[in-house]
Amino acid sequence: MTFTTDSTIFTFEGKLLKLTHDSKETKTPMNVNIYLPKGYDSASDKSIPVLLYLSGLTCTPNNASEKAYWQPQADKYGFAVVFPDTSPRGANIAGEDDSWDFGTGAGFYVDATTENYKSNYKMYSYIHSELQTLLQEEFKSLNFDNISITGHSMGGYGALSGFLQNPGKYKSVSAFSPISNPVKAPWGKKAFAGYLGDNKEDWSQYDPTELIVKYEGPADATILIHVGKADPFYFRDAQLLPENLVEASKDSKFKDKVELHLVEGYDHSYYFVSSFVAQHAAHHAKYLGITP
C-alpha cells in the first residue's frame, strides 16, 4: 500500500481520511488528508471530481480539515477535497525549523534549487504531480483529470501559481487572501531567496502576477478571490497585494476575469475562510461540471 491510513473519521455525510505516504520528491514521509464525500463509491471509476486545497503558513492538513467547512459543500456537490501538507517535515536541514515563515510548514509550493533545500523541498512537483498520481492509483473512483484548485494565504498563492503554470490542468482556481505578488512581498522574498536563490527570473516563474501576463492556456473560468479588508497582512503588511494581480490581468487572457472581492471587516483566519467556502465551492462546481 502506498498510503497508510492513520485515521478514518466519519464527518458530515462522508469520511475524512488522514493518510501518510513516502514521497520520492521530498524523500520524507508526507501527511495528506482527503475528504471522500457523501455517495463516494470506491467501485465507480473516475466518477468523482477533486478539489485541491492548499493551506497557508504553519498549517498541517488538519487546520482546514477542522475549520474551513469544505465537508458540507463537498457533500452537496459531490467532489472530494485533498488537503496536502505545507512542506516536508523532518528533513533535518539546518535552520529548517528556525522561523515560522520559512522551512517546515512553509514550503511555498516551489521546487527548491538552493543547496540546502533542493533535495527535499520539491513541493511544486509533489503537489501538482506525484501526490495526484499516487492518489489516483489508490482512489480509482476519484477523477484527477477533473480537478480544480484553491487555497489560503501561501496556499492561495500556491493555487494561483499552480493553475497558471499548468495551463488546462485545473478546471478552475480560487483563492482566499492569496499572496498574489510574492516577488514584491516580504514573505515571498524571504521564501524565494531561501529556496530559489538570488536570480529574480527564477522567482518570476512562481509569481501569479507575473505569470498571468504570459499565460496562454484556456481562460474559460473566472478567477475568484476573497480578501478581508481587516486582514493585517493585507492592509498593514502588504503581503497579499491582490490589486497587483488584477492590474496585471488587464493585459492578459484573464482581462475582466479576476473577481477580487475585498470584504469589509473580515480578517485572515479560518473564521474568514469558512465564511466564503460556500461561494468558492459553487464556483468550482460550475467548472467541474457539477450540478448539485
- Of 268, 280, 283, 284, the active-site residue reads 268
Whether 231 is catalytic is yes
Nearest to 276 by CA among 220, 246, 239, 231: 231
- Counting every residue written for the chain, the total comes to 292
Question: Is residue 100 involved in binding its own copies (CB under 8 A)?
Answer: no
Least gap, CB of 1 to its own copies (angstroms): 22
What are the grid coordinates assigned to 212, written together? 498571468
Q: Which phi and psi angles does 177 have, rounded to 5°?
A: 40, 55
Long-range contacts of 98-101 (CB under 8 A, 24+ apart): 100/57, 100/58, 101/57, 101/187, 101/190, 101/191
Contact (Cβ atoms closer than 8 angstroms) between residue 192 and residue 113: no
Closest CB to its own copies among 263 and 290? Answer: 263
Closest CB to its own copies among 259 and 267? Answer: 267
Q: Collect all residues with Cβ–Cβ distance below 8 Å to 271 and sequence separation of at least 6.
A: none
Q: Which stretch binds its own copies (CB under 8 A): 46-54, 212-220, 264-272, 284-292?
A: 264-272
Question: Is residue 13 involved in binding its own copies (CB under 8 A)?
Answer: yes
Among 132, 270, 280, 284, binds its own copies (CB under 8 A): 270
Residues within window 217-236 making contact with its own copies, judged by CB under 8 A: 228, 230
Least gap, CB of 56 to its own copies (angstroms): 15
Alpha-carbon dihedral angle through residues 65, 67, 68, 69, given to the nearest 10 degrees: 80
Least gap, CB of 244 to its own copies (angstroms): 24
- Of 231, 249, 252, 283, the active-site residue reads 231
Residues within window 59-98 making contact with its own copies, judged by CB under 8 A: 66-67, 69, 71
Query: Kind of pairing, strands 80-84 and 142-151?
Result: unpaired
Q: Which residues bind its own copies (CB under 8 A)?
A: 9-13, 15-16, 66-67, 69, 71, 228, 230, 263-267, 269-272, 274-275
Which residues are catalytic, by number?
Answer: 153, 231, 268
